[in-house]
Chain A
Amino acid sequence: MAAKKPTKKPNVSAEELKAYYRDMLLIRRFEEKAGQLYGMGLIGGFCHLYIGQEAVVVGLEAAAEEGDKRITSYRDHGHMLACGMDPNGVMAELTGREGGYSKGKGGSMHMFSKEKHFYGGHGIVAAQVPLGAGLAFSDKYKDNGRVTFAYFGDGAANQGQVYEAFNMAALWKLPCIFVIENNQYAMGTSQQRSTSSAEIYERGKAFGIPGEAVDGMDVLAVKEAGEKAVAHARKDGPYILEIKTYRYRGHSMSDPAKYRTREEVQKMRDERDPIEAVRSLLLQGNHATEDDLKAIDKEIKKVVNESAEFAKDSPEPHLDELWTDIYATEVPQEA
């Protein structure tokens, strides 16, 4: 597979590059496995895979510091794996089992980890954008130097509440990075058919929020832009990253894929795959051998297979769980 050569000289070590390769591959293999378990009826309902978009979260996580927060939409598996959540717990939530992050009560679209500062997993398009601004508000209130990554898609970018959040984030200089994961399709409606702006990040100008477009198939470009955005957000308030990416699979598992051609998808896979690009960098720069990468592939396969086994073996939640976690009896302690 021929990958597009990154335009910039990587400013990372071989070890970091290998870690990005590993993290992206984990997401891809995990999602493939999730698709398989869905096909077997072990995962139900809606399931939105992240395949193709791996460089976005891996690149931005490389720019985050401990304590920074993240919140996203229902296409959330990649974000959780990238911020260090346990694949077993994520997969067991997908199968609706006791060992899942939400004890099986949230499912694919609604997962959280206080420990990893991951605030969901939200099923209503764009609701996470004001919520993310609110998380940033809490950090600003406490003056703790933390930032929040609020991820949303090109489809969500047409919801009014995004701009309500932009307005207040700019007014109050909230330490928030608004990450538009532009995968070019809002479900089945292309950006061209749904969105008046060719460059969505430019909408921030109306609010005085700086931003930029980023090549989302190049993990190093994402990381570099992420570092710039984080530095801005910590000091001067909100920043917008419009990360141009591509989703190889359907919107959800029941997507008939009639709105784009098979050739278009294949071309992206062949020419722009973010994992292949890092693989080429590693090999061409003699930072890793085929055997090194094979060892990583093998390790990832093991992790993913174990997560699937865990997710199948973990018992269904006890029926008493139906009635728990509706009301808190004490204020949850902050992680």
Chain B
Amino acid sequence: MAIEILMPALSPTMEEGTLAKWLVKEGDTVSSGDILAEIETDKATMEFEAVDEGTIGKILIAEGSEGVKVNTPIAVLLEEGDSADDMNTSAPAKAESKDQAASDDAKAPAAQGHSQPKPAAPADATPDWPEGTTLKQQTVREALRDGMAEEMRRDENVFLMGEEVAEYQGAYKISQGLLDEFGAKRVIDTPITEHGFAGIGVGAAFGGLRPIVEFMTFNFAMQAMDQIINSAAKTLYMSGGQMGAPMVFRGPNGAAARVGAQHSQDYAAWFMQIPGLKVAMPYSASDYKGLMKTAIRDPNPVIFLENEILYGRSFDVPDMDDYTVPFGKARIWREGSDVTIVSFGIGMSYALEAADKLAEEGIEAEVIDLRTLRPMDTESILRSVKKTNRCVTVEEGWPQGSVGSYISSVIMQEAFDYLDAPVINCTGKDVPMPYAANLEKHALVTTNEVIEAVKKVTYK
């Protein structure tokens, strides 16, 4: 049967082009791969090759023709046994997919907004452990190590890799003792090669293991950003659900003290934006432990943002065999009716300190610790704001595109009529972190700024 040769699309955006030159004439025999014509697109002149073998029966579009639409028949190819009588040219083949897409658009469901799994139940002020549970004082550092060790005992496919995690016992001593208990097969010192070992971690997760990849700090994870975002977060989607990267990327995030601009950045807002990632940023030791255990068991890539200054702080931790904290459930640290203060991670230090001082002045703040940023328990924020009618957010990250600005937009869209004042975002200053002690202190968010913001929204 005669084959129509159609005007090809030669780039992702081409709709029409100029048939600059025919390199074959009627009666020529062509085989697959032969150059038939030169076609000019808006970008370049391209060669157009034959796909099928045969004889050029008829040239339908003369060379020099401009504005030839894609899929217009430009020539007829006769295959073995065809005669010129077979050349009944038809209308150009329709690009069905495009037409169909247009009609589908009309009935597309309203934007669903978020792919985040919602929390099972919103937060309340009751503790995460059963009444009567024995509590022990533990540092964040110890709680983190215990969380990892418990999960490594539970599942032999869980392993820890990173710089100085094994023999050095952890650059910040988080992995202290793990090498002794689990051996060099499961506690692995890597070279200083973030992009490479992050990629190896993701590949190991594809292959069925449950890696915990430690970044000495998240500042160095920028070297590995492509593997985290493009390989870990997107593969489940791109594979139609066939495979993904169940793993944890963890390490200290945000400002430490006096380490300057390149070692002091809060990445919460960056990672929070990525569908496919889950993001935890705990404050208390019990949450570090419970969320780490949940993160290791989660079948998705989890970004676990720790804080160096918090590592040494002590909190009550329940003495339980298997203490876990669910993702997407905020914790209400303090109930109040005058204003809602929302924070997470080290931001909670400022929020709680400000709430204590405000209480002395008779202002009762409700303080919410988000604990995870993706999924985010916006339901608890909204419920609180509908009660207090005012909200202040607190974080150390930069203001533009901050976690707080996202929270503000959610409140505006979902609880606009309940607001008695604009939401204020207390953030780190919009500058690279300075080294000088006085400047550094000023660059971070301060308790006083939180107090001032609360007074502003409560018109006190």
Contacts and interface: CB of A to CB of B under 8 A. Distances in A.
Same complex: yes
Interface of A: 32-33, 35-36, 38-42, 44-46, 51, 69, 71, 95-96, 100-106, 110-114, 119-124, 127, 129-139, 141-142, 160-161, 164-165, 167-168, 171, 248-249, 253-258, 262, 269, 312, 316, 319-320, 323-332, 334
Shortest beta-carbon contacts, A-B, top 6: A134-B203, A130-B199, A164-B196, A138-B207, A39-B8, A256-B44
Interface string B190-204: 110101111111111
Given A327-B115, A327-B276, A165 B199 contact: yes
A121 B115 CA distance: 24
B299 interface: yes
Residue of A41, A119, A248 ringed by the most chain B CB atoms within 10 A = A41
Interface stretch (B228-236, B256-264, B279-287): B228-236
B12 A127 contact: no
B394 to A, nearest CB: 28
A105 B71 contact: no
Nearest to B192: A164
Interface residues of B, number: 78
A96 B226 CA distance: 25
A327 B117 contact: yes
B134 interface: no
Given A127-B227, A167-B193, A319 B208 contact: no
Contact of A127 (B45, B190, B230, B244): B230
A325 B237 CA distance: 5
19 contacts: A32-B32, A32-B33, A40-B6, A40-B9, A100-B240, A101-B239, A102-B240, A104-B240, A112-B238, A120-B239, A127-B226, A130-B198, A131-B199, A133-B199, A137-B204, A256-B43, A325-B237, A327-B115, A332-B241
Nearest to A165: B196
B193 A138 contact: no
Contacts of A123: 230
B412 interface: no
B299 A329 contact: yes
Contact of A254 (B11, B100, B196, B276): B11
B230 A326 contact: no
A132 B203 contact: yes
B117 A113 contact: no
B206 A135 contact: yes
B108 interface: yes
Contact of A327 (B193, B200, B236): B236
B70 interface: yes
B295 interface: no
B215 to A, nearest CB: 15
Given A127-B226, A256-B43, A106 B238 contact: yes
B361 interface: no
A135 B207 contact: yes
Given A165-B199, A165-B200, A168-B191, A254 B49 contact: no
Contacts of B202: 130-131, 134
A323 B115 contact: yes
A142 B207 CA distance: 10
Given A165-B200, A168-B193, A256-B44, A131 B206 contact: yes
Contact of B47 (A32, A135, A165, A257): A257
Contacts of A96: 97
B246 interface: yes
Nearest to B39: A39
B12 A131 contact: no
A167 B11 contact: no
Q: Is the contact region of chain B dominated by helix, strand, or loop, or is it mixed?
A: loop
B109 interface: yes
B131 interface: no
> Most A CB atoms within 10 A — which of B10, B70, B203?
B203
B119 interface: no
Given A164-B193, A168-B193, A105 B236 contact: no
A96 B96 CA distance: 12
A137 B203 contact: yes
A102 B239 contact: yes
Contacts of A110: 238-239
B192 to A, nearest CB: 10
Point out which of A36, A45, A105, A257 has the most chain B C-beta atoms below 10 A from its C-beta: A36
B95 A41 contact: yes
A332 B242 contact: yes
A113 to B, nearest CB: 7
A256 B45 contact: yes
Interface in B38-64: 41, 43-49, 51
Nearest to A159: B195
B303 to A, nearest CB: 14
B104 interface: yes
Contacts of B246: 328, 331-332
Given A40-B9, A141-B185, A135 B70 contact: no
B135 interface: no
Nearest to A45: B12
Contacts of A95: 97
B239 A106 contact: yes
A127 B199 contact: yes
Contacts of A39: 6-10, 48, 70
Contacts of A316: 97, 100-101, 104
Contacts of A133: 196, 199-200, 203
A165 B79 CA distance: 51
Given A113-B242, A160-B195, 18 more contacts: A38-B8, A40-B95, A96-B97, A102-B242, A105-B238, A112-B240, A114-B243, A124-B226, A131-B227, A137-B204, A141-B159, A165-B199, A316-B100, A325-B241, A327-B276, A328-B299, A331-B246, A332-B243
B275 interface: yes
A148 to B, nearest CB: 8
B203 A130 contact: yes
B93 interface: yes
A114 B11 CA distance: 32
Interface in B114-153: 115-117
Interface in B57-115: 70-71, 93, 95-98, 100-101, 104, 107-109, 112, 115
Contact of B238 (A120, A168, A249, A312): A120
